[in-house]
Each structure stands twice: as structure tokens, then as C-alpha cells.
Amino acid sequence: MRGQTAIAGLGITEMGKVYGRNVTDFAGDAIALALDDAGLEKSDVDGLLMNANHSPEMAPMLQLSLGLEDLTLISAMNGYGSSAGTMLQYAAHAIATGQAGVVACVYADAPLSQGGSISQSSYSGRGIGSDTGFASLRFAYGDYGPANTSYALACRRHMHLYGTTHDQLGTIAVGQREWAQLNPRAQMHGKPMTLADYHDSRWVVEPLHLFDCCLVSNGAVAVIVTSAERARELRQPPVYLLGFGQAAPGDNRRAEREPAVHTGARRSGELALRMADVALEEIDVLELYDCYTYTVLVTLEDYGFCEKGEGGAFVEDGKLGPGGSLPTNTGGGQLSSFYMWGFTPLSEGVIQARGQGRERQVPNHDLVLVSGNGGTLNWHSTTVLGAAR
């Protein structure tokens, strides 16, 4: 599969507090932008993969709403934030085996409403009383609402085991905000942040500050996948799909396992790098799923950039930010750019691999590693993108 397929088109809508549009509107715009980016027509599309999410619109009926005809591949897929990598893998196999020729992969959502709050959005999570029996005991300990509580527990465990500090987590947040200042699309563009600002931000769920947590966005991202040969004839530089990996370690709540400290990122990374036939040291740019600062830190450890427990010390010199030795989440990521599940790191990975990052462009960008994460670090995907086949 290495290099047989490529991303030929990328479409990103306006992001953030964009009101008056539904999920179908955003999805249609993103696909249209991606097709125009590639120099293709709607009639060229014979495959549609949707990242199913909280919106009922992200389902096979989307094909009819968008007026796509004569498809030979269609599916609504959901591995939560790991879905983008899984969708690329599925699209690549379909193209390589002749089941489809041009596959549109799309994520769209509109959880924000004018005058509403994030707590009222589709990410409001588990409500008190929504579980019964033993499953309801978690509410007595405050485990309800958005996913913040589960990630807070994981982060606190890492701090307890390894001495990870808020200064170290804050360095991740500040570095990504610095990248966002170089990205006009970023929701936090024009809003710089210092480490003091990070510490002063309110608690969401201890030990997570507000700036440890990702944004919430209305919008959509789409990519067009086709064969490597066809991609080379189209409008944009091809971004080759070199390697894929998935891993779902499962969480059976057994005391001897810590799936939020030792995550599936390790296995998915090993699989993707092996398929791409590249070493970790050869990776030029990292685009890591960053629903929380802790997610970045633990993913770096599990990919093998440092030993388990050394992630805090590894990042504290600012190496992930602009000018650092390991450029990571170069558009600002989900913490400071926009939140489109796994399509946030994927979209920036495509931009960097093409060399189209403008002010934030990383000079060396031959190999880009993109991660995805779903649930509370339950499902993982890794994709290696290449500027060359």
C-alpha cells in the first residue's frame, strides 16, 4: 500500500463561531472546496466516507443531500477522533483494489449555537442519572459532563507516577498558541498567550486548566483521495499515503492496566512506521491529536520520542513550538486553531507536506506523522504522509 494513493484535494471551511449554517451546509462546502483544490468535479467522486459523530446528518443520507450520484463506495465511520486515519486507510484500500477512483472523506459539525454555551453543545457528555446500577456510582465522584473528567483522571495519574508539572503542560499550550499566531485560519489567531496566562486560566476539572482543553468549533474539513498516478496530474502537489496503523487497547477496568497512561498510540505508530518503511528519527513534522495538552505529552511518549514518564521533561524546553527541534501541531492544533476531531491534525499535515504553510511552514517537511485519538485514549490511528512517493 505504500505510496499507491495520495491526498489530492483539501477543503477547510470557515471555523469557530459560524452561525446560521447546518452540518450538511458545512460538509457540502468542504467537499466543494476540496474538489476545486484538486481540480476535480463533483461527477468525478465515486466514494464518500463520512466521519459519523454526534450529528445525525453525518450518515449515508448525506449523499442525497449533496447530490452525489453513482457511488461505488459509501460509509459513515466512527472511531471518534481516530476516524480520520481509519477513513484514509479504508479509502486507500478501496482505490488500490479498484473499488473506487476518487474518494471524498469529510468531517462536519455545528455544536455551537448563537447565545448558547459549550455546556449546552453536543459535547456536553454524560448527564447525572444517565446510567443506572453500578455504572451510576461514577456520578457520586463527580464523573459527569464532557470528557474532561476522564482526561483529568488520566493526567493526574501521570503526574502522580512521574512528577509531570503544570509548567510542562503549559509549555505545550503556549507553543501551540505561538503556532496559531502564524495561522490566519486559527480561532486564536491574534490572541497570544504566555505561561502566566495559562496558569491564570480557570480550572475546568483539576488538574486541567481552561487552556489545557481544546476549542469547540462549527465547520468542516474534507480531503480527496485518489491514486498516486492520478494525483500527479491534478492541480496540487500530491501528499502520498505511506503508512497506516490502528490500535484499540480496550479498557476493561482491570486494576493492573492503565490504558490512559500506556496508550494504543505505541502500537498504531509502530504499524504505520513499518508500513511506510521509515524510522521515527526521520519524521520532520508532527501533527498530534490534542484534545488536551496531556494527549500530546502521552502520545509523544508512546510513539517513542522519549521514555514513558519523561514527556514533561522532554517538552519543557519548547522544542514543539516555532523554531523548535520537533515542530508539532504547526497550525495551532485543536487547542488554538480549531476542533474537527482527527481532521484538524490531518488538514495541517497536508498543508505542511505540500509546503504551503506560508509563515508557519516548516523547512523540512518530507515526512509528516499524523495521529488520531478517540474516547479517553481508547482508539488510536497513525498516518505517515509523504511529500514524495
Better-scored residue on pLDDT, 148 or 10? 10
* 3-state class (DSSP) for residue 70: coil
Sign, CA dihedral 39-288-93-237, equals positive
Sign, CA dihedral 225-228-230-232, equals positive
> For 287-308, what is the mean pLDDT?
98
Total length of the chain: 389
* 3-state class (DSSP) for residue 9: strand
- Residue 373: CB partners within 8 Å, gap ≥ 6? 80, 81, 82, 263, 265, 289, 291, 295, 299, 342, 379, 380
Better-scored residue on pLDDT, 118 or 194? 194
* C-alpha span between 78 and 52 (Å, rounded): 5
Is the Cβ–Cβ distance between 330 and 285 less than 8 Å?
yes
pLDDT band of residue 91 (cuts 50, 70, 90) is: very high
> Which residues form the domain of 302?
5-112+215-386
Is the pLDDT confidence value at 120 over 70? no
* C-alpha span between 113 and 149 (Å, rounded): 24
Tell me whether residue 304 is in a domain.
yes
pLDDT given for residue 327 in this prediction: 98
Q: What confidence tens digit (pLDDT) does each residue in 196-205 have?
A: 999 999 999 9
Is the pLDDT confidence value at 138 over 90? no
The reported pTM is 0.96
Q: What confidence tens digit (pLDDT) does each residue in 20-36 have?
A: 999 999 999 999 999 99
Q: What confidence tens digit (pLDDT) does each residue in 213-224 have?
A: 999 999 999 999
Cell numbers found for residue 101: 477512483
Tell me whether residue 75 is in a domain.
yes
User: Where is average pLDDT lowest: 143-157, 169-183, 275-289?
Assistant: 143-157
Is the pLDDT confidence value at 119 over 60? no
Among 154, 86, 151, 116, smallest CA distance to 291 is for 151
Cell numbers found for residue 279: 524510522
Q: What percent of the chain has pLDDT over 90?
A: 86
pLDDT band of residue 129 (cuts 50, 70, 90) is: low
Q: What confidence tens digit (pLDDT) does each residue in 37-61 have?
A: 999 999 999 999 999 998 999 999 9
Tell me whether residue 78 is in a domain.
yes
- Note if 339 is an active site residue: yes
Tell me whether residue 226 is in a domain.
yes
> For 317-337, what is the mean pLDDT?
98
Q: Which of 80, 289, 294, 303 is catalytic?
A: 289
Is the Cβ–Cβ distance between 259 and 251 less than 8 Å?
yes
* 3-state class (DSSP) for residue 205: strand
- Residue 280: CB partners within 8 Å, gap ≥ 6? 269, 273, 303, 304, 305
Tell me whether residue 83 is in a domain.
yes
> For 99-127, what is the mean pLDDT?
83
pLDDT band of residue 115 (cuts 50, 70, 90) is: confident
Sign, CA dihedral 279-244-239-190, equals negative
- Per DSSP, 358 falls in state G
* 3-state class (DSSP) for residue 306: coil
Tell me whether residue 178 is in a domain.
no
CATH number, domain of 243, equals 3.40.47.10
Average pLDDT of the chain to the nearest whole number: 94
According to DSSP H, which parts of 105-165 are helical? 137-140, 148-162
Tell me whether residue 197 is in a domain.
no
pLDDT given for residue 4 in this prediction: 97
Q: What confidence tens digit (pLDDT) does each residue in 255-265 have?
A: 777 889 999 99
pLDDT given for residue 341 in this prediction: 97
Tell me whether residue 131 is in a domain.
no
Is the pLDDT confidence value at 118 over 70? no
Is the pLDDT confidence value at 250 over 90? no
> For 365-382, what is the mean pLDDT?
95
pLDDT given for residue 128 in this prediction: 64
Look at the chain and report how many structural domains it folds into. 1
pLDDT given for residue 122 in this prediction: 59
* C-alpha span between 241 and 225 (Å, rounded): 9
pLDDT given for residue 117 in this prediction: 67
- Per DSSP, 127 falls in state P
Q: What percent of the chain has pLDDT over 70?
A: 96
* C-alpha span between 225 and 103 (Å, rounded): 5
